[in-house]
Structure 1
Amino acid sequence: MSSGTTIRPARLSEAAALSDLMRRTFVAANGHCSTPANVAAFLDTVYTPERQAQEIRDPDTLTLIVEQDGAWAGFAQLRWGTVPPAEVTLRPAVELGRIYLDAAFHGKGIAALLVTHLLAAARLRHSRSVWLNVWQESEQAIRFYRKHGFQIVGRSVFRVGDDPKDDWVMTQALPAD
């Protein structure tokens, strides 16, 4: 891990600050994907302090914070409690539900460290594969995931408010223990 970078589980006391970071990074990455009303509805449903506290307490969800020199650079989340799409055939599988960095930390190799950490955490819980959904119009994210071993295996729909978005389902097999 690069000097000054720390990856650790989110603490319950950080739910409100985490919610703020999640909202900021989602808007920066995807705020243009729908109408302001749909984006606001999505944020108010998914990225609330209460919802983050619930997810932090969930034993089948691992929410990680990545810090660079003490500042929050981003976050990621693995979810063992979700049902993978049929195209994800290698089971048990874990969902990489979220991974975002604040724009100030892009291009520093932090996201690659975070993915490595996530894949190690998935293996520790005996997952055989990791899967995710990514917006089909997010070319940068798709390139990033491909670079880190994920491949497109199917399609899904993700809703931002009442606006359906076409996503790719991507997956990666994990080495057997």
Structure 2
Amino acid sequence: MASIIINKALAEDLETIQALGRQTFYETFAESNSEEVMKNYLEESFSTEKVKSEFNNPDSHFFIAWEEDIPVGYLKLNSGAAQTELQDETSLEIERIYVKKSHHGQKVGQLLYDQALETAQNLKKSYLWLGVWEENLRALQFYRKNGFEQFGTHTFRLGGDDQTDLMMKKVLD
């Protein structure tokens, strides 16, 4: 395995973020949802307009994990009003850490998480928080291993299905 490099996404990386988002979301959730629901969600959530709008928000931060010249995962962080729930000025939301299935178990997620932690410290945030689907056991284990604790729940609607996300946070030193 070649070494993984984490870079802040630049304007020319927009299509890479869009493609990574579609692929990794599909790989993570397709077997638990219908093809139609997945298709609709991916078209809406990763449309060029939506990704461009998120990317251009000064309170959102994107990072890409690269193995040589191949993108293998990405991270999306939100602060201030860009946060999806809490919108606490002292917090940083990890909205997405997604890694291609081909790179699961290769510490790419840990490198992306380490970037989130470093960004939170640089921004002088008091805590990190996120929402993770209650049935995504791999992600739950990962976040618990990294010191996150559940503090609530949130309903995430995918198609006609209400799914429960566990809200988790980690207080920083």
After TM superposition, the score normalised by the length of structure 1 is 0.89
Deviation at 1:83, TM superposition (A): 5.5
Aligned to 2:171: 173
**1:133-172 matches, cutoff 5 A:** 133-172=131-170
Residues 1:43 and 2:17 are matched in the alignment: no
Deviations 1:87-116 (A, max 9, x none): x9x861111000001111111112111111
* Distance of 1:98 and 1:40 partners within structure 2: 19
Q: Give the 3 Å change call, closer, same or farther, for CA 173–84 of structure 1 in structure 2.
A: farther
* Distance of 2:32 and 2:126 partners within structure 1: 32
Contact kept, 8 Å, 1:78 with 1:118, in 2: the verdict is yes
Aligned to 1:62: 61
* Distance of 2:15 and 2:47 partners within structure 1: 7
Aligned to 2:4: 5
Aligned to 1:107: 105
Contact kept, 8 Å, 2:128 with 2:171, in 1: the verdict is yes
Deviations 1:49-78 (A, max 9, x none): 222222221110001101012211100110
* Distance of 2:55 and 2:89 partners within structure 1: 24
* Distance of 2:135 and 2:145 partners within structure 1: 17
Instruction: Give me the identity figure in percent.
Output: 26
After TM superposition, the score normalised by the length of structure 2 is 0.91
Q: Which runs of 5+ in 2 are unaligned?
A: none
AA partner of residue 83 (structure 2): T
Q: CA RMSD in A?
A: 1.9
Q: Which runs of 4+ in 1 moved over 6 A?
A: none
**1:114-129 matches, cutoff 5 A:** 114-129=112-127
Aligned to 2:33: 34
Contact kept, 8 Å, 1:55 with 1:63, in 2: the verdict is no
Aligned to 2:51: 52
Aligned to 1:98: 96
Deviation at 1:44, TM superposition (A): 1.3
